[in-house]
Structure 1
Amino acid sequence: MKALTAVPAYDVEARADRLSALAVRALIEEARLSPKPGLVDSRGAGAHRDLSLDLMERSALSLQPTFYRLALHSWLRPADGALRQEIGRLGREGEQQMMAATDGVNTHRGAIWALGLLVSASAMLGGRGSVAFIAAAAAQLASLPDPFSPKNFSKGQRAVQRYRVPGARDEAVEGFPHVVGRALPQLHRSRRQGADESQARLDALMAIMCTLTDTCVLNRGGMPALNAMHRGALAVLAAGGAATPAGRDALAELERRMLQDNASPGGAADLLAATIFLDWVSA
């Protein structure tokens, strides 16, 4: 990687603006991607009663200032306790802005965590890091304690405790293995095999859903729903992915099962948005 050098303040602001715009665009393109099993997409609300595509897009747009501030405050800084506390504070402020924009509906709390870390990590590297360097920097940040983090457990944290499975923090501390080791390789492989961009992204989503212990699914359907998600996503890829008739049939079957279980893989959706973001910033 090239040595990082100082850049004018106006250029830093422009680069921070670019990172924030890419993060918001990744959230919007993830939301619009169809057909996603159990998730909000361009067809409808999936397994949700309180969400819509319009709400997801409004939520994503409300987060642009948060991602911008995360990038600006992280620019060329080392991963230390001071930065960790600062991004924690900015992330919590972003959650409040999101809740105000959605009238109290939690649309992107998990995405603020995942994409917020990756935006900060990209800025720490001057906006020029490879996937491996960005993921490693994000892992360094995630592993640091934030003494001001709320003590009340989220639904995801309760599922982690109840089922004794890895959660969103573990994914980040480990350097986003479902993004770096599964989704991005599948995205690139599907493109090489002739899939269009939507099909390649659906395959990347399936690669995440094959093994992710998605706490959103666990909260709604327990272990039976999570196991069904793993089997169904694997069946889509084994059938050739979303670009093939057999793969699309398997995807439709997975959707039927997830709607039956009232399960929505929100954690996988957050990681797909992270995948799209990293695909762009490392290009």
Structure 2
Amino acid sequence: MRDADVRKHETDHVADIALNRILDARERRADFQREMLDEFGRPLISFTLNIPGAFKTFPLARQAFLEGKFQIIRQMERAGIPIVDYRDLSGDAGFCGIWALDADPMWIKKLSVSIEEGCEIGRLFDIDVLRADGRGISRQDLGLPMRQCLICNSAAHVCARSRRHSAEELARKTEGALQDYFDRRFADKVASSALRALLYEVATTPKPGLVDRSNSGAHQDMDFFSFIDSASALIPYFHACVMKGATFEGTPEQLFRAVRYIGQAAEGAMFAATGGANTHKGLIYSLGLICVAAGRLHRKKGKVKPEDLITLCSEMAQISLEELKERRNSAPMTHGETAFSRYGFLGVRGEAANGFPNVRNIALPILRSLLKQGVSFNDAGVVTLLHLIANVEDTNIIARTDKGTSESVRQKVKNLLDSVTDIEELLQAANWIDEEFIALNISAGGCADLLALSFMLIFLFP
């Protein structure tokens, strides 16, 4: 027998075993349904997945089952329908859950169909509803059309009967739909965390020399609402960064270059939203890195760990740091380039390339500790910002003043923190430091960005 024939024989044998398991699972499901109907005398929901082929328990299918299970429970809770009992019959042949419910079965079917029709992967959900006497309720009983084919949108039963689409084609379509759905769900979560971080940072009050809820600090061209407008405009950018990270194949360097245009477009959206004010340029870079890294790790490893995230951000940021050094003798265009040209300060590029040391070693430990003690996000943010100002060479301060003033400011805040530990006293001190910074035209914008990054990491890894 040729090798190809051997492989085909082995594949067919495995498929036959899987098919037998599927048939056994169907009989077992029917037995459980009868037992639950006898025991509870209530309508049932029997939930499985429409996964083509013999192999139905791969990781994405498990995620889809958990998602459908969650949506069914939430839908019943919203409708006030009591769940009498639940049995999980998942096994090698596929995933299955059965609920006994105390409600009108037609109402349950309508709610179930709304999930199948409304959820983006609902076409892969098979939510059967049985009356208390065991009779099923079809879509036709509700006056609804038959379900459509996953590929061509014809009637699904017609395509299945005629075998219009191959098992391989159906499997690719199913896996692609699931992967895209969960990638976008994850991107929504990360982009939401980025937006939340921006809003928490600008809302933290008082912030010396910075825009907050009380005043515009040392800034004449922006206010609190400028930051809200800017943050809102950046939501699609953060989402796009996560998706690029998830779908791009290549090295960290290639990924960084691939996402650069998205960052440039984001800057354009920011300036359009603020009338030309630079509210978030530094965070477009650093939060963008985090979003890209999160997307890549989510797709590659399934779970994003803080240490892996920081490492990948560092690898990508090496490119921009090298470019900064190459341009040292050119005319500087940004505050960061000015500070590097004059004093060798690496700014946000160095912070990212070195793995965000000021976030990891200063801001995050302080912020987490204060929040754990029950301090509010606002007050914990103010205290964390003071510690950052006391320890970080902020290129924004240096660009607005000089190195000597920057060092003097840092020492003054450091002395304050050495002598005062009470939160209320520190908040009061932040007010008079704010007045002094405004008078001196000082804005610790770099430190504010690090505070926003700390909020982001808190939200991603609570």
Same fold (TM over 0.5): yes
Q: Which amino acid aligns with 2:435?
A: R
Contact kept in structure 2, 1:139 and 1:172, CA below 8 Å: yes
Moved more, 175-184 or 231-240: 231-240
- Aligned to 1:201, what secondary structure does the other structure show? helix
Q: Are the structure 2 counterparts of residues 91 and 220 from structure 1 closer, same or farther at C-alpha, using a change threshold of 3 Å? A: same
For residue 130 of structure 1, the aligned residue among 290, 298, 305 is 305
Moved more, 146-155 or 116-125: 146-155
Separation (CA, whole Å) in 1 of partners of 2:209 and 2:256: 34
Is 1:237 matched with 2:441?
A: no
Contact kept in structure 2, 1:98 and 1:108, CA below 8 Å: yes
Contact kept in structure 2, 1:232 and 1:250, CA below 8 Å: no
State percent identity of aligned pairs.
Answer: 28
Q: CA deviation at 1:39?
A: 0.2
Q: CA deviation at 1:177?
A: 0.6
Q: CA deviation at 1:100?
A: 1.1
- Following superposition of structure 1 onto structure 2, how do residues 18-167 of structure 1 map, counting pairs within 5 Å? 18-75=189-246, 79-126=251-298, 128-144=303-319, 153-167=333-347
Moved more, 138-147 or 272-281: 138-147
Separation (CA, whole Å) in 2 of partners of 1:242 and 1:221: 30
Q: CA deviation at 1:228?
A: 3.1
Is 1:190 matched with 2:370?
A: yes
What per-residue deviation string (whole Å, max 9, x for no partner) do you get for residues 22-73 of structure 1?
1011101101110000000000101111110001110011001110100001
- Aligned to 2:401, what secondary structure does the other structure show? helix
Contact kept in structure 1, 2:314 and 2:354, CA below 8 Å: yes
Separation (CA, whole Å) in 2 of partners of 1:174 and 1:22: 23
Q: Which amino acid aligns with 1:142?
A: A
Contact kept in structure 2, 1:85 and 1:148, CA below 8 Å: no
Contact kept in structure 1, 2:321 and 2:353, CA below 8 Å: no
Separation (CA, whole Å) in 1 of partners of 2:385 and 2:397: 14
Query: Across the two proteins, how many residue pairs are aligned to each other?
Result: 278
Separation (CA, whole Å) in 1 of partners of 2:444 and 2:186: 32
Q: CA deviation at 1:259?
A: 1.8
Superposed CA RMSD: 2.4
Q: CA deviation at 1:248?
A: 2.9
What per-residue deviation string (whole Å, max 9, x for no partner) do you get for residues 123-142 of structure 1?
22217423322111111111
What per-residue deviation string (whole Å, max 9, x for no partner) do you get for residues 210-243 of structure 1?
2211111111121233123312332343344562
Separation (CA, whole Å) in 1 of partners of 2:419 and 2:374: 15
Contact kept in structure 1, 2:202 and 2:224, CA below 8 Å: yes
Q: Which amino acid aligns with 2:312?
A: A
Contact kept in structure 1, 2:390 and 2:413, CA below 8 Å: yes
- Aligned to 2:423, what secondary structure does the other structure show? coil
Moved more, 265-274 or 198-207: 198-207
Residue number in structure 1 paired with 2:381: 201
Larger RCO, structures 1/2 (Cα 8 Å, 6+ apart): 1
Separation (CA, whole Å) in 2 of partners of 1:254 and 1:232: 10
Is 1:274 matched with 2:453?
A: yes
- Aligned to 1:73, what secondary structure does the other structure show? helix
Separation (CA, whole Å) in 2 of partners of 1:209 and 1:128: 33
Separation (CA, whole Å) in 2 of partners of 1:216 and 1:41: 17
Residue number in structure 1 paired with 2:354: 174
Contact kept in structure 1, 2:211 and 2:224, CA below 8 Å: yes
Q: Are the structure 2 counterparts of residues 49 and 130 from structure 1 closer, same or farther at C-alpha, using a change threshold of 3 Å? A: same
Q: CA deviation at 1:147?
A: 10
Contact kept in structure 1, 2:222 and 2:274, CA below 8 Å: no
The unaligned stretches of length 5 or more in structure 2 are: 1-58, 61-177
Separation (CA, whole Å) in 2 of partners of 1:102 and 1:242: 37
Contact kept in structure 2, 1:122 and 1:128, CA below 8 Å: no
For normalisation by structure 2, the TM-score amounts to 0.56
What per-residue deviation string (whole Å, max 9, x for no partner) do you get for residues 63-119 of structure 1?
011101000010175642321111211111110111111111111101101111111
Q: CA deviation at 1:191?
A: 2.7
Contact kept in structure 2, 1:131 and 1:180, CA below 8 Å: no
Q: Which has the higher strand share?
A: 2
Separation (CA, whole Å) in 2 of partners of 1:163 and 1:233: 22
Separation (CA, whole Å) in 2 of partners of 1:22 and 1:94: 17
Separation (CA, whole Å) in 1 of partners of 2:322 and 2:371: 43
Q: CA deviation at 1:202?
A: 1.4
Contact kept in structure 2, 1:99 and 1:105, CA below 8 Å: yes
For normalisation by structure 1, the TM-score amounts to 0.90
| Structure with bigger gyration radius | 2
Separation (CA, whole Å) in 2 of partners of 1:195 and 1:146: 36
For residue 262 of structure 1, the aligned residue among 424, 441, 449 is 441
Separation (CA, whole Å) in 2 of partners of 1:225 and 1:169: 23
Q: Are the structure 2 counterparts of residues 18 and 192 from structure 1 closer, same or farther at C-alpha, using a change threshold of 3 Å? A: closer
Contact kept in structure 2, 1:203 and 1:242, CA below 8 Å: no
The unaligned stretches of length 5 or more in structure 1 are: none
Q: CA deviation at 1:154?
A: 1.6
Q: CA deviation at 1:280?
A: 0.7
Residue number in structure 1 paired with 2:144: none
Q: Which amino acid aligns with 2:436?
A: R
Separation (CA, whole Å) in 1 of partners of 2:240 and 2:280: 17
